[in-house]
């Protein structure tokens, strides 16, 4: 397998890799090389959304993106959301609304919510469902996640005022 050098920023911090195999996924780079295990693998083929991160401001399934495609890019993972020990409003809303059970899908769900609220700061029920349909949760039945997204939207609107 051919190996290539890449540079990227993850959660604002620069990383330099001298020889990344061309077939390595961004998910593997994040988990295995950088050591950030908050981003999860659930299927490795883009069906479950557990590996969702933001690449250059857009949500992607990191299992479907090659590490080399992220060369020169900026990645945001779940570990990059909280600042100075304070939860991001989306994280806080998921805690407050009881949206977390086993928690395995939650990092991906929160990153998809982040991407959704960036594009649409006050989504309707239907827009939330559509925006998060690629993230599968097996525990919650989605009800409280829906509530959390609304709450996060309100919290973020207040913050930006």
Partner 1 sequence: MPEHFVGKPIVRVDAAEKVTGTAIFGPDVVLSGMLYGKILRSPYAHAKIKSIDASRAWELWGVRAIVTGDDFPGILGGEAMKDLPFLAQGKVRYVGDPVVAVAAESLEIAEEAIKLIQVEYEEIPAVFDPREAMKESAPIVHENHHQYQHIPVMKPVPNSNIMTVSEFSKGDTDQGFAEADCVFEDTFYSHSIQHAPIELHSVVAQMTADGKYTVWVPNDGPHRLRKDLSDALKIPLTKIRVLSTYIGGGFGSKGGLKLEPVAVALAQKVNHRPVKIVNTREEEFSACVVKHATYLTVKTGIKKDGTITAREVTSIWDAGAYAEKSPTVCMQATAASAGPYKIPHVKLKGYCVYTNKVIAGAYRGYGVPQVTWAYESAMDVIARKMGWDPLEFRLKNILREGDENPTGQPVHSIGVEECLKKAADVIGWEKRKNAPAPAESYKKRGFGICCAAKNTKTPSGAAAVVLLNQDGTANVVTSTVEIGQGAKTIFTQIAAEVLGIPVEKVCVSNPDTDLSPYDASTTSSRATFHMGNAVKEAAEDIKKQLCNLAGEIMGCPGDDLIAEGGEVRPKDQAGLNKEPLPYKQIMMKKYGAGGTILGRGFYYPEVKTNGMWSAPSIFWMYCAHAAEVEVDTETGKVDIIKLVAAQDVGKPINPVTCLQQVEGGAIMGMGAAMSESLIFDNKGRMLNPTLHDYKLPTFMDLPDLESFIIDAPDQNGPFGAKGIGEIVVAPTMAALAAAIEDAVGVRIKEGPLSEEKVIAGLEKLESGQEAR
C-alpha closest to that of 131 among 59, 77, 63, 40: 59
Q: Which of 13, 56, 82, 122 binds partner 1 (CB under 8 A)?
A: 82
Kindly state the smallest distance separating residue 106's Cβ from partner 1, in Å. 5
CA distance 34 to 110: 20
The nearer residue to partner 1, 82 or 118, going by C-beta atoms, is 82
Q: By the 8 A CB rule, do 118 and 57 touch?
A: yes
Q: Is 87 in the site for partner 1 (CB under 8 A)?
A: yes
Among residue numbers 114 through 143, which ones bind partner 1 (CB under 8 A)? 128-130, 132-143
Q: Is 74 in the site for partner 1 (CB under 8 A)?
A: no
Q: Is 43 in the site for partner 1 (CB under 8 A)?
A: yes
Kindly state the smallest distance separating residue 68's Cβ from partner 1, in Å. 16
The nearer residue to partner 1, 48 or 68, going by C-beta atoms, is 48
Side by side, which strands form the sheet with 74-76?
Answer: 13-21, 3-10, 74-76, 52-55, 58-61
CA distance 105 to 66: 21
Task: Give CA 113 to chain center in angstroms.
Answer: 8
Q: Is 17 in the site for partner 1 (CB under 8 A)?
A: no
Task: Give CA 110 to chain center in angstroms.
Answer: 6
Six-digit token string for 133 = 């349909």
C-alpha closest to that of 50 among 91, 110, 95: 110
Q: Which of 4, 9, 15, 41 binds partner 1 (CB under 8 A)?
A: 41
Q: Is 50 in the site for partner 1 (CB under 8 A)?
A: yes
Catalog residues that contact partner 1 under the rule CB under 8 A.
Answer: 35-45, 47-48, 50, 77-79, 81-82, 87, 91, 94-96, 98, 100-107, 110, 128-130, 132-146
């Amino acid at each position: 397998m051919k190996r290539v050098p890449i540079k990227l920023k993850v959660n604002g911090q620069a990383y330099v890799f001298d020889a990344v195999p061309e077939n390595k996924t961004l998910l593997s780079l994040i988990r295995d090389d950088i050591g950030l295990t908050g981003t999860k693998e659930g299927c490795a083929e883009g069906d479950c959304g557990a590996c969702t991160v933001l690449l250059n401001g857009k949500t992607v399934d990191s299992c479907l993106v090659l590490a080399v495609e992220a060369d020169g890019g900026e990645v945001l993972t779940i570990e990059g959301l909280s600042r100075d020990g304070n939860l991001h409003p989306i994280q806080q809303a998921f805690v407050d609304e009881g949206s977390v059970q086993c928690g395995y899908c939650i990092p991906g769900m929160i990153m998809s919510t982040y991407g959704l609220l960036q594009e649409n700061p006050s989504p309707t029920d239907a827009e939330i469902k559509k925006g998060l349909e690629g993230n599968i949760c097996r525990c919650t039945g989605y009800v409280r996640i829906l509530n959390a997204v609304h709450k996060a939207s309100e919290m973020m609107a207040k913050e930006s005022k």
